[in-house]
């Protein structure tokens, strides 16, 4: 759906920027963000650039493509503004507060909500807060916010990416400590699922051997950014064809490929090639000394990207690509990878089969 009144976000940002300690976010704020990193998925440069981005057509901001942030020395969160997917173009949007941290976080959220909901110059139908800890969620309920089920962000994914939350992979639980890559059987799953990671890795490795092909994971440099864009566009095109394009759009991930973001010392990014054709992109960030979080992780499974003689096993490419990535990250001293939550149950199952542990976070909403 195309929107004509995208000046709504500009109006909202103009008024919110009048509030003390609210300012535009950009990658140059990385030191300020770093002070608040706590290992959670929502507190990082890439998280702010993704979840408050001004690239999405439902909340486009030409002047502030990375969104806004609040930071006063003891409290931090990012601020975005979006319309819902099925809203009319004349409908007002919503202010989204992302990953509030710090001792005065709840008080500051309430202040922004009061301003957004009662200032007639801000076109705002409600204020959502996401990536909340349980105690923050309960405290906001006491301040007049509602559980998100009272006004879901999307009918099929009420809490968007956090609707399903199996997400934290301990690499040593998945990969044996050996010179090559040896995928373990994952305990705690059903008999059918516990061997899926190992079996699928072997299936795709056999596919490569039979077709005399290679999968190569390369650093995402400036010369490979267009290859990464191609993968992202193809991935979302596939989702649209299958009727699974829920919430997220390829534009949401443009900020992950910004050269300033890729240059941050805590950010690592890779492009995966299958016999020279780009098929994977992974962009993530250290969120603690031992934990790395992935924000733009896509791998194609469409065999049409390459010509092969024997297609058996090609659909196991996404899992194979993750395993190769985990092996590379372990060499950098990373013990855990946070994959983020999922909008769809089948993606959550995929993450569980990698050993993903549950890491719930919460949404709350206050409506006009």
Same domain? For 122 and 237 the reply is: no
Same domain? For 131 and 191 the reply is: no
Task: Report pLDDT for 302.
Answer: 74
Same domain? For 207 and 332 the reply is: yes
In a domain, residue 299? The reply is yes
User: CATH number, domain at 37?
Assistant: 3.40.630
In angstroms, the CA 346 to CA 366 distance is 30
In a domain, residue 124? The reply is yes
Q: In whole angstroms, what separates CA 34 from the centre of its chain?
A: 18
Same domain? For 108 and 71 the reply is: yes
- Divide the 368 residues of the chain into consecutive groups of 10 and give the mean pLDDT of each group: 66 98 99 98 99 96 97 99 93 98 98 98 98 99 98 95 97 88 87 86 95 96 98 92 83 98 99 95 98 98 71 92 98 98 94 96 98
Same domain? For 83 and 177 the reply is: no
In a domain, residue 346? The reply is yes
Same domain? For 59 and 205 the reply is: no
User: CATH number, domain at 325?
Assistant: 3.40.630.30
Q: How far apart are the first and last CA of the chain?
A: 24
In a domain, residue 64? The reply is yes
In a domain, residue 1? The reply is no
Same domain? For 242 and 158 the reply is: no
In a domain, residue 274? The reply is yes
Same domain? For 341 and 195 the reply is: yes
* Predicted confidence (pLDDT) per residue in 163-197, tens digit: 999 999 999 999 998 777 999 998 888 777 779 99
Task: Report pLDDT for 68.
Answer: 99
Task: Report pLDDT for 148.
Answer: 98
Rg (CA), the chain: 21
Same domain? For 156 and 171 the reply is: no
Burial annotation 198-226 (CB, 10 A radius, 16+ → b, else e): bebbebbbebbeebeeebebeebeeebbe
Task: Report pLDDT for 179.
Answer: 72
Same domain? For 179 and 255 the reply is: yes
In a domain, residue 234? The reply is yes
Single out the residue of 272, 270, 316, 259 nearest to residue 292, CA to CA: 270
Same domain? For 138 and 194 the reply is: no
In a domain, residue 197? The reply is yes
Domain count, the chain: 2
Same domain? For 194 and 220 the reply is: yes
Task: Report pLDDT for 6.
Answer: 46
Task: Report pLDDT for 363.
Answer: 99
Which residues 6+ apart lie within 8 Å of 140 measured at CB? 106, 109, 110, 129, 132, 364
Domain that holds residue 37: 7-165+363-367
């Amino acid at each position: 759906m195309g929107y004509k009144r995208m000046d709504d976000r500009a109006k909202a940002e103009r008024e919110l920027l009048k509030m003390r300690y609210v300012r535009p976010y950009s990658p140059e704020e990385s030191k300020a963000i770093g002070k608040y990193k706590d290992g959670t998925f929502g507190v990082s440069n890439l998280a702010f650039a993704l979840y408050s981005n001004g690239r999405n057509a439902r909340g486009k901001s030409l002047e502030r493509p990375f969104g806004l942030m609040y930071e006063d020395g003891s409290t931090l969160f990012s601020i975005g503004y979006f319309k819902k997917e099925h809203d009319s173009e004349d409908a007002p949007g919503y202010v989204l507060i992302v990953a509030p941290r710090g001792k005065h976080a709840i008080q500051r959220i309430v202040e922004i909500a009061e301003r957004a909901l009662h200032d007639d110059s801000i076109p705002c139908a409600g204020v959502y807060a996401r990536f909340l800890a349980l105690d923050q969620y309960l405290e906001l309920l006491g301040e007049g916010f509602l559980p998100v089920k009272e006004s879901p962000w999307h009918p099929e994914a009420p809490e968007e990416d956090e609707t399903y939350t199996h997400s934290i992979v301990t690499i040593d639980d998945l990969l044996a400590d050996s010179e090559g890559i040896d995928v373990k059987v994952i305990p705690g799953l059903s008999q059918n699922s516990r061997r899926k990671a190992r079996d699928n890795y072997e299936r795709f490795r056999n596919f490569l051997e039979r077709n005399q092909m290679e999968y190569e994971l390369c650093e995402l440099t400036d010369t490979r950014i267009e290859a990464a864009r191609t993968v992202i566009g193809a991935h979302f095109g596939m989702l649209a064809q299958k009727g699974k394009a829920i919430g997220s759009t390829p534009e949401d991930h443009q900020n992950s490929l910004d050269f300033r973001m890729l240059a941050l010392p805590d950010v690592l990014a890779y492009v995966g090639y299958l016999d020279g054709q780009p098929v994977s992109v992974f962009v993530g960030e250290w969120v603690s000394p031992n934990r790395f979080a992935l924000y733009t992780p896509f791998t194609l499974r469409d065999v049409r990207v390459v010509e092969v003689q024997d297609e058996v096993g090609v659909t196991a490419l996404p899992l194979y690509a993750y395993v190769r990535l985990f092996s590379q990250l372990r060499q950098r001293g990373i013990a855990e990878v946070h994959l983020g939550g999922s909008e769809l149950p089948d993606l959550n199952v995929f993450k569980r089969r990698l050993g993903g542990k549950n890491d719930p976070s919460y949404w709350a909403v206050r409506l006009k």
